[in-house]
Each structure stands twice: as structure tokens, then as C-alpha cells.
Amino acid sequence: MKRTLAFLFYSAALVAGDWPQFRGPSASGIGDGEKPPLSWDAEKKKNIAWSTEIPGLAVSSPIVAGNRVYVTTAISADAKQSLRTGLYGDTDPVNDLTAHEWRVIALDKDSGKVVWQQTAHKGVPKTKRHPKSSQASPTPATNGEVVVAYFGSEGLFAYSKDGKLLWKKDLGLQNAGWFFDPDSEWGAASSPIIYKNKVIVQCDRQKDSFIAAFDITEGKELWRTARAEIPSWGTPTIVTGKDRTEVVTNGTKAIRGYDADTGRELWTLGPNSEVTCTTPVSGHGLIFVTAGYPPVQPVYAIKVGSNGDLRLKDGKESSEAIAWSKQRGGVYLPSPIVYGDHLYTVANNGILTVYDAKSGTRVYQQRVGGGGSFTGSPVAAAGRLYIPTEEGDIYVVKAGAQYELLAKNSLGEPLLTTPALAGDLLVVRGAKHIFAIKE
């Protein structure tokens, strides 16, 4: 009976149009809609199906499963807490140490009404945060039946789709900050992912970093692998190959692949940036990983199924395991996307670079719109790229070998998250509201 119940919890509850984790199915960033919105206007309510105000401060992205939209937030007793947007390189954290409530909220996908909300934790944050971050930065994940929310030092929580707490886990102090100055605490941001019956969490911190898998039905730890890593903020990615399934992680000391079923380390690759924030993506039998914190700013195209130490030798840009690479041009915050034949990267200042995904040949480079500050990652559907900016705009760019700006749409509030594409519905989280956009 217990085995049957567990199977029901992680069997195929997801359907077409779902966006179950950070960057959607397999972290691809690609939606399956045929007519996603091209233009909208939040002020005039043009093509805005609904908008719902979410209390608190969070840069976690929305996810969608069935008829629910799930978000997380952290509500501070200090109502003046805010995000500082723009292009800057400050390392000083926000002393965000007032009492907080960490919440998980479920909205009706058709109306935006709150269906349920649960307070996962109350108290004073155990670490500070970056001025562009929040106390609720990791995006939740779901398999359609269980919703998992990770709040860093405040713990890992699993709820049923109806809002019942199933289990919670204390993963210890997640002190993720600048390794040169441990007092510069920036907060956890890596999001949980779900594979089969496992919730996988990458916990890179000042010491004793690890990656671990927990049973999605009861929270039992299934495996844990130590990582010789300093703090990082990227979300791991599941990559299915011919003979195995890997968990691929971005990290400062090495990009790594692990066996998703056992946690065994399969391969490593360096050098990499001193600070890593982007999520790996896969396509065309390759795994693409990029990072943009100087001085090392690489782009790697790694062949699925590789083993061992993949470090390139003698200044080469390719090998039996590496299809191609660039030692310059990697991006810092927005994660890359593979769509069709191309790999797209967006820099913090809006420089869009497009490569032939298989060969690494640069197709074009163009500043999106008039520039600005870019933190959220691009997503794609129906031959279009949706590229969010901190200023609250989303640029719609035609996918392909030539740059063509199709539309610029404003939401009227800062946008530091990654949109969700649930069929033809675009779900976007601004600084204050969740917006559902549809033609």
C-alpha cells in the first residue's frame, strides 16, 4: 500500500502546459503554447487576464501545474524593505533582520484568486541578503501532486497540491555569500528540482557544501554528496542521456555531473567564474554551461555521457568531451536558452549573443531594446524569445539567425524573476504582483 501511494505521488501528474520548476520542463525555458501573447499593457489592462498582489518581498519565480499557480514569499515586519535594481557591483548585504513570515501561496490559474496559503516558517532570518535578492529567492517545484519550497537556512518544505504540509527538513545554515568576505551574506537562491521520486537540492555555502536528494513523499534523505565548493546560486539541471540520467551543477571550482539515482560524481570541468549563478541547459546531445563573473567568463558545450576530468588542455577549445567552448563571453545572471538550432545568452546589460548550438559559431550579437539591467532569464515559445528587464519591461524577440524586435511591453514594476509559459498563458512575477497575460 505504501509503495502504491508513493507511486501515485510521483507518477505522471504533470500535463502539457505545465511549468513545474524554475525555467519550466527540464529547465529548458521553452513553453509549448502555439499562441502566447505578443503585446500587452498592464496600465490599460490590455491582454491582462488577471493580476494579484502578493505580500512581502521575493524574487522566486512562479510555477504552474494543472489549474494552479504557485509562488513563495517572505513577509518582513519592516514594510520598507525593497529591491535595489540597476547595474552595480556592490557587495554589501541588506541587514534584513526583522521578523519574517515565509509563505507558500497557491493561486487559481484562471482567476488569480488565492486558493490557499501556508506559513512555512516564522522568525528572524538566519542570514542577510543581497540588495537584488530576497529571503525567498529559490523557485518552488512540483510534480503535480507535491509542491516543494526551499527557503535556504529556514528549511525545505513539501505540501500537497491542496496545501497540506507533508514534511519539512532543516538543511542547516545556508550561508551563501562572497567568499572573500564571509560577512557579505547574499542569501540562498538555488531552486529545488524533482526527478522521479526525488527532490534534489544544491546547497553551496561557505563550508560543507553538498548536493542531496530526498524522498518526495516523506522527506527521507536518499543520498548526499559532499561538494568541495564555495557559495553558488545556480539551480541544478536534470539531463537524460542514452545510458543514464545526470544532475548537472554550475560551481566556482568546477562544473560537475552526478548520477541522478545515486549522487555519484561522474565528471568535472573547469576553470569557471568566481561567482556562478546560471542554470545549465541541454539540447542537441550537449550540455551548455556559462558564467560571467570576471576574470573567467566561459561558455562550455559538453557532450552528454562524458566521464572524468574534462578540463581542456593546451589552450584547446574542444575535445572528445567538449564540442566547443569560449573562454570569454559567458553571462552572469540570466541563464542561457537553447531554442531550435541556436544557443542564446543575455548579459546583465542586455547584450544578446546567439551561437550555432552545435558548432559554437557566433551568429549575431545585439543589445536588446535600449539596454537596461537584466536579471531574469529568457524563455521561448512559438518562435519568440521573451526577455525580462529589471525596469519592468519584457522584450519579445523573433528567434532565429537575425535579430528582430517584435514588441516591448511594460508591467509597470520591477521585474527580477523568470516568466512562466503555461500553454498560451504567460505568467510573470513583478515586485508586487503576479500577472497572467493572454491574447
Band of residue 175 on the pLDDT scale cut at 50, 70, 90: very high
- Is residue 355 scored above 80 in pLDDT? yes
Average pLDDT over residues 419-434: 97
Strand order across the beta sheet in which 68-76 lies: 63-65, 68-76, 100-108, 114-123
> What pTM was estimated for this model as a whole?
0.95
All three cell numbers of 86, joined, read 540597476
Number of domains in the chain: 1
Domain of 101?
A: 2-437
| CA separation, residue 357 to residues 290, 345, 353, 369, 383 (Å) | 13, 11, 12, 24, 16
- The DSSP letter of residue 157 is E
- Is residue 1 scored above 70 in pLDDT? no
**pLDDT, tens only, 252-307:** 999 999 999 999 999 999 999 999 999 999 999 999 999 999 899 999 999 999 99
CATH code, domain with 389 = 2.130.10.10
Looking at residue 83, what is its pLDDT?
86
Backbone CA torsion sign across 357, 360, 361, 366 = positive
Average pLDDT over residues 146-150: 98
